[in-house]
Amino acid sequence: MMLRRAGIYALLALFAAYFALPLLFMLLNSFKSVAELQRGGFLGWPQAPDLQAWREAWAALGGSFKNSLLLALPVVALSSLLAALNGFVLCKLRFRGSEAVFVLLLVALFLPIKVYLLPLAISLAKLGLAKSLGVLIAIHVIYSLPLALFFRNHYLGFPDELLRAARVDGAGFWALFTRIVLPLSKPVFVVVVILQFTTIWNEYLFGLVFTDRDSRPVTAALAQLGASGEGGVRQYNVEMAAALLAALPTLAVYLLAGRHFTRGLVAGAVKG
């Protein structure tokens, strides 16, 4: 019994190492110099560890890092609030055709985002909208509408009596929404915020196409970094430091909210 358990743990440790190794090498190599990497010191410990690569990576990414924050934070806030509102309306304030809207959202959820790229580019051009963060924010907010489904499913288990009590108590639509519905949506918010932040932060295609040089998000800047090696020498150390840097915010979000994440995913599975 003990032996079997030890075997299981050994196997799990092996898998864990397999997944962790690439990350470890990235981390190690980000502390090496270009010269050391060129000498073939790819696998060993850094001989003269320094933060030069990290400094260069930050110098290259810093501006786009800010862009990504300016993009992700408003998009996450706006789209999740909008999703809560839409989910509530779709679930509890049925109107003529609300079922059709629901089905459309469901379909939109399954369509790959690349499908929209060309029509969107043409539309923006015809509308005369310049590439900018504002435009990108608007696009992401609009394309995040299917998030409403998360909230709708949560509100299905919401007792109608509660809403009727609030109406008798004199709450109008907005008081109902902000004072009763929103505070009771926290578990869903945690899930949606994590998913949405990760998605928006890591999104590349729209970020590349619908921004210009100054409004580029971190993913686009990262790709640019790899493409623009000077004199044919690729600065792997800088690339790896930059990639790690770019991944930090999503990592932080998972670590901070991860505990609530699993709780939110199963919330509503069992009423109680």
CB 49 within 8 A of CB 240: no
The contact mask relative to other proteins for 17-56 (x = CB under 8 A, - = no) is ----------------------------------------
Q: Report the distance separating Cα 119 and Cα 160, nearest Å.
A: 41
Structure tokens at 75: 């998009």
Q: Smaller CB distance to other proteins: residue 158 or 254?
A: 158
* Total residues at interface with other proteins (CB under 8 A): 17
> Alpha carbon of 136 to those of 123, 158, 267: distances in Å?
13, 34, 32
> Which of 76, 80, 71, 31 lies closest to 51, judged by CA?
31
Which of 171, 195, 208, 265 lies at the binding interface for other proteins (CB under 8 A)?
Answer: 171
Min separation Cβ 74 and other proteins, Å: 26
* Burial classification of residue 20, based on how many CB atoms lie within 10 Å of its CB (0-12 exposed, 13-18 middle, 19 or more buried): exposed
Is 179 among the residues that bind other proteins (CB under 8 A)? yes
Q: Smaller CB distance to other proteins: residue 51 or 165?
A: 165
Q: Smaller CB distance to other proteins: residue 124 or 175?
A: 175
Min separation Cβ 154 and other proteins, Å: 14
Min separation Cβ 173 and other proteins, Å: 11
The span of 30-38, 142-150, 168-176, 202-210 binding other proteins (CB under 8 A) equals 168-176
> What number of H helices and E strands is found in the chain?
13, 0
Instruction: Provide the 10 A C-beta neighbour count for residue 81.
Output: 15
Q: Smaller CB distance to other proteins: residue 175 or 243?
A: 175
Which of 104, 111, 165, 233 lies at the binding interface for other proteins (CB under 8 A)?
Answer: 165
The span of 50-58, 164-172, 237-245, 250-258 binding other proteins (CB under 8 A) equals 164-172
Region of 32 (left: φ > 0; alpha: ψ -120 to 50; beta: rest) is beta
- Dihedral angle, C-alpha 243, 244, 248, 250, nearest 10 °: 50
Cβ-proximal residues to 110 (8 Å cutoff; 6+ apart), any chain: none
Is 230 among the residues that bind other proteins (CB under 8 A)? no
The span of 7-15, 177-185, 229-237, 240-248 binding other proteins (CB under 8 A) equals 177-185
Where along the sequence are the contacts to other proteins (CB under 8 A)?
159, 161-162, 164-172, 175, 179-180, 183-184
